[in-house]
Structure 1
Amino acid sequence: MKRSILLVLLAACSRNPHPASVPSGGGNVIAITHVNVIPMTSDTVLGDMTVIVRGERIEAIGRAGRTAVPAGARVIDGRGRYLIPGLVDAHIHLSNRADIDSVVAAVLLAKGVTTAIELGGMGLPGDSARLQLRTAINAGHRPGPTLYIARAQANDSTMTREGGMRRVEQDHAAGYDLMKVYNRLSVEGYRGITLRAHQLGMPVVGHVVRPAGLEATLGSGQRGIVHMEEFLYQYFGFRSSDTLTAQDAKLDTAVVSYFARITAEAGTYVTPTFVTYQAMIAHAEDLDRELARPEVRYIPATLYNAAWIREKNERSLMFAHPRRLHHLRAGLHYQRLLLQAMHREGVPLLVGTDAPVAGAVPGFSVHHELQNLVELGLSPYEALSAGTRNAAAYLRKDDFGTVEAGRRADLLLLSSNPLDDIRNTRAIAGVMARGRWFDEGALAALLARSAR
């Protein structure tokens, strides 16, 4: 599917919907006063606080009556509002086309996503546009989240151990942050990648490598499995698209606790991406209903016409058959059981959406996934941890994911308390990304420029 989408993208004309400048803040001082802070260092609310931001960093946090606001600082009144770390989408894809990717980045930011993990461009030749976008965002020339990027997935069934090591060295030298492994990667190539990545400090994430198997993948030091459905595909050979056999009969619930335990023991992070799997079901059930959702207007036109419309929507075309829909629903039920078992065992979870694949709208889907986690038994604080601090630990970074002095000034100002109701993450009153403040008007303008 991705290959056909990209051919359409290549043929489309370019456009640049966003201005080069964004709200300043890199060298300024901003004070958010009298605000309720949810620091995400613990399940607590610190009332009536002042947060001082200087440049890209949080400089100080203290009680409003005891914390001086620097002269000349821009003051943002936080009375009655709640300040949390900016959200993280731990699984997105960019197209490597500046016109498309700038829209995706702007919509992510407008919905409170200040960090995103990009797991391989969607197949277009070269990678320069993604890396250039990362640089432009960091410099304040484009609105968007801080990006951590993997090159195209390693999926070569003939790769040698030495070839795997070379691939890591090349990606590391080119400035990529992660290694992504995929289904058909050879065992020897996988060994070379995991060894050299460990030596260079690059996290290895991705699918379960089929030739290696689930247990070997978990034992390899692979940092993350980026879809919960991967447990079904490798271990059971489950295929929701198979209409000839009773696929759902393969899903043995007796091994749910085993999966959860060995994943917890390995310390492997899991990104469920339930919103993506749910979208396959929803698009197969009623595509017209799904395409009429208001947020779909923020999918860039080229991408929408290449993958979302009825004639090109492979999810609708493939899964509308009743038996296939039955298998999808059985697979989703099993994944929910897995999530609950993994949560009980303490498996570290992440919020990721696979956006902008069909059905997953950048930014909007993050809030849907947070709600999914709470509905499956996580507390709002635990769900927020999956969408903030856990991602920093996943990347072995200590400069984002919490509201603490010294952290990158990635902040989300909310009108209501998300610890009371996780849906309150959608009540966005402002976003700060790397110290740059976007009030409600600026966020509305980003969305307006991004709409089709």
Structure 2
Amino acid sequence: MFYHHPRLILLKNKLKTTVFVLFILFAACKTPEKRSDLIALSNFKILNLADETVLRNEVVLLKEDSIFEILSEEEFKKNYILPDSAIVNGKGKYLMPSLVEMHAHFQPRNPHHKRYLQQYLSYGITQIRVMAGNEDLLSWKDSIAQNLIMGPDLKVAGPLIDGEKPLWGKFHDGPVITNTGHADSLISEIKAKGYDLVKLYERLPAKVYFEFIEAAKKQEMRVAAHIPFEVLTSAKTEEVFNTNSPSFEHFKNFGPLVTKNEVEKIAQPEDHIYYGYRLAEDPDLQKIYEVVKEIKQNQVWTSPTAVLWKNSSDSARIAAIMKTEAYKGLDEGMKNWWRSTIENQSRNMVLNRLNELFLKEMARQEVKLLVGTDFPNPFLIPGYAVHQEIHNLVDMGFSNLEALRAATIYPAQYWEEKDPAPYFTQGRLANFLILNKNPLEHIENTFSIHRVVKKGEFFSPKTLRE
């Protein structure tokens, strides 16, 4: 019989333990995985816009059109081996979410408008909310999604729903609704056709407007609206601004809510400028404070499109815009139309002042906004004007961070029913801006675009504008 000496048994057990520990250690040392389907964005300074922190030493891995993983440089080197051609070195560059235009219009029958989509992309805009839709725009939306048309992804509102007489007269090509009873069926039709939201307009009767708001809520459709004239003359403030409110477009119809003097409030004025101009001439700061307070308390989204009034009311600004290369590249029909509106500067100064008073109060009360421009209205260069609106918010008192959020994170919150995950998260579409300079330091640095990334594809701004 073999004699088991105690020291031999101890040595044997120690050897087993050592072998077991070494096995665990070797098993834990994962061999880096060779991948040819990934792109690594490495060595960037990342602005995730959750706060003003600049993230370093993080690698953003892309697979096809989305974020595959975010991990530290150390973890990346440990876990993956990628060909050199698949590693984008961002030394000295900043990476941030791409921009969103939340109020624009396009005319598919105009041969130049499709080109303006590409120009939008060159300025880092990867999504546009189109505010008056038709079947042709739905076709554009599908074609862009299938990479048949170059441009930002589109979110398209249904055709404008207005009352009698439609604000745009013979140019109105949407439904005209004068009585209740149509909202459910019309919203069902808009939803079935693939539109993303319902657009309500200025001459709708108040009872029809509120019926559409309720019907859209039941069918889980978003609504954007100009506050109808009749609502302005009859509804109480709490009826206009509450948790069921649509997103409100522009501040030009807010005049009757904040006017200092008692003025005649006509339910259906012949001249639509009456509410957008006459009743905005003498605003009451206390009333503006109260309206903004209601907007904040009820978390009502607004897209002021303040750049529209700012650009069209300042002769020096107009002259500067008309000297830009971007302006020279616009079609002659648009330039002629814009030039013909210069005589409206005095009226637009009134509207610009109203916008500035609202924006300054919103900055003080820290209200969330959505950046929009109302292109192709006068002196709004496609894409370029989005940056101007961001900069304008800063001029009105918003921090650089809040102004950037209004064109990035807040549009994401608008579209998502729940609070969205952080922007740089696994599964999100790879839509980014690569910048040469940090816009959190100087907001004008939004223009320092090195590359635009849309769904994992890299674009040169210069090439997109050629």
The Cα of 1:219 is off from its aligned counterpart by 3.1
Residue 85 of structure 1 contacts residue 411 of structure 1 at CA under 8 Å; is this kept in 2? yes
Aligned residues: 400
Which structure has the greater CA radius of gyration? 2
Kindly provide the CA deviation profile for residues 395-415 of structure 1, in whole angstroms up to 9, marking residues without a partner as x: 226779822222111111101
Query: SS at 1:76's partner residue?
Result: strand
The Cα of 1:100 is off from its aligned counterpart by 2.8
Picking from 258, 261, 268, the partner of 2:293 is 261
Cα distance in structure 1, aligned partners of 2:425 and 2:220: 25
Name structure 1 gaps, 5 residues minimum: 1-26, 122-126
Sequence identity of aligned pairs in percent?
A: 24
5 Å matches for 1:434-449?
Answer: 434-438=455-459, 440=460, 443-448=461-466
Cα distance in structure 1, aligned partners of 2:321 and 2:95: 32
Partner of 1:333: 353
Picking from 359, 364, 370, the partner of 1:344 is 364
> Which has the larger displacement, 34-43 or 82-91?
34-43
Is 1:165 aligned to 2:172, yes or no?
no
The Cα of 1:295 is off from its aligned counterpart by 1.8
5 Å matches for 1:416-427?
Answer: 416-427=437-448
Cα distance in structure 2, aligned partners of 1:177 and 1:70: 41
Cα distance in structure 1, aligned partners of 2:413 and 2:243: 18
Structure with more relative contact order (C-alpha pairs < 8 Å, separation 6 or more): 1
Cα distance in structure 1, aligned partners of 2:157 and 2:272: 28
Cα distance in structure 2, aligned partners of 1:409 and 1:70: 21
Residue 48 of structure 2 contacts residue 96 of structure 2 at CA under 8 Å; is this kept in 1? yes
The Cα of 1:188 is off from its aligned counterpart by 2.7
Partner of 1:4: none
Is 1:143 aligned to 2:150, yes or no?
yes
Picking from 104, 110, 134, the partner of 1:92 is 104
> Which has the larger displacement, 75-84 or 148-157?
148-157
Q: For residue 444 of structure 1, what is the amino acid of its counterpart?
A: K
The Cα of 1:427 is off from its aligned counterpart by 0.4
Normalised by the size of structure 1, how large is the TM-score?
0.81
Partner of 1:387: 407
* Cα RMSD after superposing both structures: 2.7
Cα distance in structure 2, aligned partners of 1:101 and 1:92: 12
Is 1:225 aligned to 2:257, yes or no?
no
5 Å matches for 1:53-92?
Answer: 53-68=62-77, 69=80, 71-72=82-83, 74-92=86-104
Normalised by the size of structure 2, how large is the TM-score?
0.79
Partner of 1:414: 435
Residue 243 of structure 2 contacts residue 299 of structure 2 at CA under 8 Å; is this kept in 1? no
Picking from 96, 111, 119, the partner of 2:123 is 111
Picking from 299, 303, 311, the partner of 1:279 is 311
Partner of 2:424: 403
5 Å matches for 1:133-212?
Answer: 133-157=140-164, 158-212=177-231
The Cα of 1:190 is off from its aligned counterpart by 1.3
Query: SS at 1:268's partner residue?
Result: coil
Picking from 355, 369, 378, the partner of 1:358 is 378
Q: 1:98 to 1:401 in 2, by over 3 A?
A: farther
The Cα of 1:201 is off from its aligned counterpart by 1.6
Name structure 2 gaps, 5 residues minimum: 1-35, 165-176, 266-270
Query: SS at 1:58's partner residue?
Result: strand
Residue 273 of structure 1 contacts residue 354 of structure 1 at CA under 8 Å; is this kept in 2? yes
Q: For residue 210 of structure 1, what is the amino acid of its counterpart?
A: F
Q: 1:382 to 1:224 in 2, by over 3 A?
A: same
Residue 169 of structure 1 contacts residue 196 of structure 1 at CA under 8 Å; is this kept in 2? no
